[in-house]
């Protein structure tokens, strides 16, 4: 079933892209998981809130598997992920798209930015970056000091002989208004980032040839006509880079809604290593999807923890105002979930 859906939607998308269409459906959202491990309770919450927002606004839901990084990708995980979403009743209307099959679009975008004179090869090693830079506030990437921006052609050629370069995007100087990005997140409110001081020239392609998440996500959201992005709070700090890229590549800016993270403890985010809260165990413990979904929805004030409801019943209860009331990160434990 997935295969047919995928083939069909992919062909349709390619046709739209070839005809140079901008997709204009009223609301289109997406769930864009990275298949690096089985979904855990936090991933389910992001998928659920994405789905509820889309369904409550009669929008279209895209499923996009973000399997760009061959190191993170484990082939059976994507199948399991779709099977888990299916079991949960979190249906999608378009896709699955696989980023690993879309690299020509990312290459086009990098070429376009290069033609605009906005990229340069970067030869810095990971340890050089650690030594010379300060971490980006939100995601542990580095504020790049521009080391390779001003290399002379001869220096580039010399370095390229021993090391394949990454590609960086030049951001405007701090006093250039184009480099100050402001937007309002549906849950976390007004945001502002000065790219030059808070991020620096950022990676759009890694030295091993893998396109950067920031680039791929912007190209995909743009080509797929995504109008609403719902995802974990940990990605709020990526928005400024993504909005800047959207402006350069001529894509409209989607509406952003970041949702609280589920934490394994007050100081540690739930991770795919927390096997006691992964889909395998959750499915075994709950037996059916409804009680699990309702339990998770209760964390956001959308239900009582043990209420008898279907996934569809939650659509009418969903509102962003409710999520705003529960926007602090949430600690979950097996005791809460399984009793």
Q: Which residues bind ligand GLU (CB under 6 A)?
A: 32-34, 66, 217, 231, 235
| Mutual angle of helices 75-88 and 41-56, in 10-degree steps | 50
Rounded Cα distance, 305 and 288, in Å: 15
**Measured from the CB of residue 6, what is the shortest distance to ligand GLU in angstroms?**
18
Q: Which is nearer to ligand GLU, 124 or 229 (CB)?
A: 229
**Measured from the CB of residue 66, what is the shortest distance to ligand GLU in angstroms?**
4
Supply the DSSP symbol for 120.
Answer: E
Rounded Cα distance, 95 and 85, in Å: 13
**Measured from the CB of residue 32, what is the shortest distance to ligand GLU in angstroms?**
4
Rounded Cα distance, 37 and 172, in Å: 37
CA angle centred on 140, ends 134 and 141, rounded to 5°: 70
**Measured from the CB of residue 11, what is the shortest distance to ligand GLU in angstroms?**
24
8 Å CB contact between 81 and 322: no
**Measured from the CB of residue 186, what is the shortest distance to ligand GLU in angstroms?**
14
Rounded Cα distance, 257 and 236, in Å: 9
- Please identify the residue of the shown chain whose CB is closest to the bound ligand GLU: 231
Q: Look-up: residue for tokens 């279209």?
A: 60
Q: Which is nearer to ligand GLU, 165 or 246 (CB)?
A: 246
Q: Which is nearer to ligand GLU, 200 or 232 (CB)?
A: 232
CA angle centred on 81, ends 75 and 84, rounded to 5°: 145
Q: Which is nearer to ligand GLU, 34 or 180 (CB)?
A: 34
Rounded Cα distance, 97 and 111, in Å: 22
**Measured from the CB of residue 195, what is the shortest distance to ligand GLU in angstroms?**
18
Q: What's CA 255's distance to the chain center, in Å?
A: 13
Q: Which is nearer to ligand GLU, 229 or 303 (CB)?
A: 229
Q: Which is nearer to ligand GLU, 32 or 281 (CB)?
A: 32
């Amino acid at each position: 079933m997935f295969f047919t859906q995928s083939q069909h939607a992919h062909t349709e998308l390619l046709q739209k892209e070839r005809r140079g269409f901008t997709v204009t459906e009223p609301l289109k959202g997406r769930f864009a998981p990275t298949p690096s491990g089985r979904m855990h309770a936090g991933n389910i919450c992001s998928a659920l809130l994405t789905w509820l927002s889309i369904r409550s606004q009669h929008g279209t839901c895209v499923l996009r598997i973000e399997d760009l990084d061959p190191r993170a990708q484990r082939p059976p995980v994507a199948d399991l992920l779709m099977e888990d979403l299916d079991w949960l009743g979190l249906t999608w209307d378009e896709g699955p798209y696989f980023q690993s099959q879309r690299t020509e679009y990312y290459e086009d975008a990098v070429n376009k930015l290069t033609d605009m004179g906005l990229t340069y090869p970067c030869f810095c090693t990971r340890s050089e970056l650690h030594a010379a830079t300060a971490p980006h506030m939100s995601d542990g990437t580095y504020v790049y000091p521009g080391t390779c921006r001003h290399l002379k052609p001869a220096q580039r050629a010399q370095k390229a002989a021993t090391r394949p370069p990454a590609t960086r995007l030049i951001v405007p100087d701090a006093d250039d208004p184009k480099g100050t990005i402001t937007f309002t997140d549906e849950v976390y409110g007004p945001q502002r980032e000065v790219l030059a001081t808070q991020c620096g020239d950022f990676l759009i392609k890694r030295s091993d040839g893998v396109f950067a998440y920031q680039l791929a996500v912007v190209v995909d959201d743009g080509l797929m006509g995504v109008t609403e992005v719902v995802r974990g709070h940990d990605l709020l700090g990526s928005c400024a880079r993504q909005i800047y890229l959207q402006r350069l590549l001529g894509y409209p800016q989607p509406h952003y809604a970041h949702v609280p993270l589920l934490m394994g403890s007050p100081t540690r985010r739930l991770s795919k290593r927390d096997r006691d809260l992964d889909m395998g165990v959750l499915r075994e413990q709950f037996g059916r999807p409804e009680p699990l979904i309702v339990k998770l929805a209760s964390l956001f004030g959308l239900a009582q923890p043990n209420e008898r409801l279907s996934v569809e019943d939650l659509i009418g209860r969903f509102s962003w105002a409710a999520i705003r009331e529960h926007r602090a990160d949430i600690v979950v434990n097996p005791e809460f979930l399984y009793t």
